[in-house]
Structure 1
Amino acid sequence: LTSVARTALGTKIGAIEKENLAQAVTDAVLCVRPQDANELVDLHMIEVMHMKHRLGTDTRCIKGLVLDHGARNDDMPRRLENCYILTCNVSLEYERSELTAGFYYTSPEQKAKMAEAERKVTDDKVKQVIALKREVCTKENGKTFVVVNQKGIDPIALEMLAKEGIFAVRRAKKRNMERLALAAGGEAVNSFENLGPEALGEAGLVHEVTLGEEKYTFIEHVKHARSVTMLIRGANDHTIAQLKDATRDGLRAVKYALEQRAVVPGAGAFEVALHDHLMKYSDSGITGKQKLGVRAYAEALLVIPKTLAENSGHDVQQSIIEVQEAFRKCTPGTYAGLDLETGAACDPAARGILDNLNVKKSLCETAGVIAAQLLLVDEIMKAARRGM
């Protein structure tokens, strides 16, 4: 799988970044792979985050989650270990009543009681969280507590949580809430009724990182991660965009290799082998225009290894002849491809140069269809330039 990822990334990024990123994308896909081999891999369970920080070689797969914001209270701890995580979608801020009813009071005391009663609704919810924290976090087990809420948490509630040493994140994205439950365990609750320890997830480390004005919350060291984060790092926007594009290609390459349980040799070996097969097929009794069509298709396939040789700075004709001669000498089950460094023939499977099966199938199927569509075009209309 790493070889498949390495081949897919080789045309996108440099050799140093390729080795690191190939292992990272392979680990990410293996983490989210379903237990049933017949099920498809859901790449939406892999969050792709970027930080303009360090070098591209520092890109890694985090078995957990990275949130693009941090705690909103300065008194909250910035690093916690052995954490229980409460994932919730409950408003912990004062909200005005949506009803159009009117409330009247005749004295300042009644106004104070009314304000206290309105505040009590939110405070009771916060106290439920604090009570759960005191229940599960003791001095003996050394556990800490983290709250990740999809809705808001007002300053008073944040202050109450901070006094208890609770790290709280508010207004998390919905997709991150789903991924967090898969990464850390537990379940996302929509109400604090019957709130108990069974709703909590666990993580070995939760910490906050600040880069300039941006804050990031890392939830790491989870036991059975079914959702992970690809953290892209780079010194500038161009590097980050390049690594993001390569990461998407690498993730899909590993996904397809797992789902299809088959790969084909790369380095132009597939095209050379198919060219040889079609040329023999054209000589086996096909006559007329069909023979010309098969030969034309076979010659067109050699465009790929020829392009590889040309882009690598080698003599195109000499390289193709060497690869074709090496293929004819291969034993059944082995193939010959192009070594981009020397321009000579090599065994791509032994070098770990592998391509996805579905990519080659798509190439063969669409090439003929596109050629036929182009031949059916009678005229081409071009739009005139503006101002003419």
Structure 2
Amino acid sequence: MFILSEDSQRTEGRDAQSSNIMAGKAVAESVRTTLGPRGMDKMLVDSGGEVVITNDGATILEEMDIEHPAAQMIVEVAETQEAEVGDGTTTAAVIAGNLLGEAEDLLDQDVHATTIVEGYHEAARIALEAIDDQVLDVEVDHDLLAEVAESSMTGKGTGGLTPAELAETVVTAIDHVSDDDGVRRDDVSVYTQVGASSSATDLVEGIVVDEEPVHETMPSSVEDADIAILDVALEVRTGEVDAEYAIDSIDQLNAALDAEESELRGYAEAIADSGVDVVFTTDDVDDRVASYLAGEDVLVYEDIGSSDVKSIASATGARRIGTLDDLDAEDFGHAERIRTERFGDDDLTFIEGGQAAEAVTVFVRGGTEHVVDELERAVGDALDVVETARESGEVVPGAGASEIAIADRVRSEAAGIEGRKQLAVNAFADAIDVIPRTLASNTGRDPIDSLVDLRAAHESEGRAGLITDREEVTIDDPVEYGIVDPADVKREAVESAAEAATMIARIDDVIAAE
């Protein structure tokens, strides 16, 4: 009796568990060498020849063509980490992979998968308590947030800028969009432009759009600008019906041309008479309208995309206008300055000041496309972790110190847990140790010796991490060196990694339809 299709493939029992665990471990291992300040980059080349060079865990896993369903769960761990807290994706993936490795050893010792899951859940609870105890009793001010941003970007590609220099820009951006109600993260954007060195990266108090004026004689800069956003085509109206008109004389032709000219001039006069200084329209602008408005020193941009229109409206306070009959100063937005600058072959428009100053843009520069892409990823992660730290007000020691404390706490409480579940709790602690071991390995130190030294320093000093200072790697208190991470990054990494590992460990039957 056939229940499944003859084309179906089924893997059961220990074989299914081994296959899934192996796939999860392979994915985690692929990003492990990117962890920490001495982590290495990966070059990813797709079938079309497009190249991505990065050490960002989320980007690496996203770009990899992963088909195995269990391995895809590890990718989802990184995606969740990125979406929730913006950083720690490599940490979460590596912990998840090592939890699977420890689970495999327990399965080989005939520990039931359900026992492993129960032990991991208990260990995760203890780990979260340990993270709470690691939270520093300090004020999360501008300087501390700069340390959080710098820690996030250390080891990532920041071009000619140091992480400290870039961190100041990031924190200033977050400060600009923060108030008593919280952080308006959506009001911070990152715009990249190839050309110049990364040291030309700047913070724009406003927004940047890839647009140029419709007429070359229009002003390149307007101060104290009133802004209108139009959903209007500033060109001759055409009927929806496909019709032909017969012209029998030159007088009729001139009359038609005069009517057309009068219509276009009417558009231009309505805009000029409204007192608006800058017009952004989502449709086309006839050259004659553009020429007339240029003579009136009105700056006009055409064919603005919906996302840019939304950004401009939000930044300037302008309302979208559907007809020129509705032109009203109450619908206009305002900016202290609108300017257009040329960068290589591109014209970019900067909308600054006024209500636009409620939004800010990190204008990232770099010599090549790969440099600006990696800078964009680094800045994006830093913005997210600074937002996370500011919102929660909680930071913990970095450089592996928190993981050493978590593992120590889990081991100490494992002694009070009865039965085989204790083995799973201890295995969880061993999996957490992979972070300081990997940090040590990526700096060139012996991972086992480093782990022993870190545990000893933790016992005697209470806080110990791997400090990378130029060519020297030492064991010391990371807080003294300004190496701190948001507590929520650690919590999310532990929770998501534990959930993924327990889900994969419980699978003992894989049915695949061809």
TM-score by length of 2: 0.64
CA contact (8 A) 2:467 2:475 kept: yes
For 1:340, what is the secondary structure of its paired residue? strand
* Comparing 70-79 and 343-352, the one that deviates more: 343-352
Q: Distance in 2 between matches of 1:278 and 1:216?
A: 54
Structure 1 residue ranges, 4+ long, deviating more than 6 angstroms after superposition:
379-382
Q: 1:312 aligns with which of 422, 443, 446?
A: 443
Q: Which residue of 1 aligns with 2:153?
A: 9
Point out where structure 1 has 5 or more consecutive residues left out of the alignment.
137-144, 383-388
Q: Distance in 2 between matches of 1:264 and 1:228?
A: 28
1:105: Cα distance to partner? 5.6
- 2:378 is aligned with 1:233: no
Please state which structure has a larger fraction of its residues in helix. 2
For 1:26, what is the secondary structure of its paired residue? helix
Q: Which residue of 2 aligns with 1:270?
A: 402
1:303-349 Cα offsets, whole Å, 9 max, x none, are: 10111112122333343333323322346xxx332212343333333
Matching of residues 8-157 of structure 1 within 5 Å: 8-14=152-158, 16-33=161-178, 36-37=181-182, 41-43=184-186, 45-99=187-241, 107-133=249-275, 145-157=277-289
Q: Distance in 1 between matches of 2:467 and 2:184?
A: 33
Matched AA of 2:499: V
TM-score by length of 1: 0.83
User: Percent same amino acid at aligned positions?
Assistant: 28
* Comparing 268-277 and 68-77, the one that deviates more: 68-77
For 2:325, what is the secondary structure of its paired residue? coil
Q: Distance in 2 between matches of 1:98 and 1:261?
A: 59
Instruction: Pick closer, same or farther for the CA change 1:57–1:89 going to 2, 3 Å.
Output: same
Matched AA of 1:249: D
1:63-119 Cα offsets, whole Å, 9 max, x none, are: 112221211312112233332222322221223122456656654323433343344
Point out where structure 2 has 5 or more consecutive residues left out of the alignment.
1-144
1:214: Cα distance to partner? 2.0
Q: Distance in 2 between matches of 1:18 and 1:150?
A: 39
For 2:439, what is the secondary structure of its paired residue? helix
For 2:176, what is the secondary structure of its paired residue? helix
Q: Distance in 1 between matches of 2:479 and 2:322?
A: 52
Q: Which residue of 1 aligns with 2:477?
A: 347
Matched AA of 2:368: N
Matched AA of 1:302: D
CA contact (8 A) 2:340 2:350 kept: yes
Matched AA of 1:113: A
1:21-68 Cα offsets, whole Å, 9 max, x none, are: 32223333343447523xx7443x444322211111222221112221
Matching of residues 143-292 of structure 1 within 5 Å: 145-222=277-354, 225-283=357-415, 285-292=416-423
Matched AA of 2:271: V
Q: CA RMSD in A?
A: 2.8
Instruction: Pick closer, same or farther for the CA change 1:176–1:33 going to 2, 3 Å.
Output: farther
- 2:503 is aligned with 1:361: no
Instruction: Pick closer, same or farther for the CA change 1:278–1:33 going to 2, 3 Å.
Output: same
Q: Distance in 2 between matches of 1:182 and 1:317?
A: 54
CA contact (8 A) 1:21 1:60 kept: no
Q: Distance in 2 between matches of 1:374 and 1:178?
A: 43
Q: Distance in 2 between matches of 1:101 and 1:350?
A: 79
Q: How many residues align?
A: 365
1:134-192 Cα offsets, whole Å, 9 max, x none, are: xx7xxxxxxxx222222211110110111011221111222122212232333332333
CA contact (8 A) 1:152 1:171 kept: yes
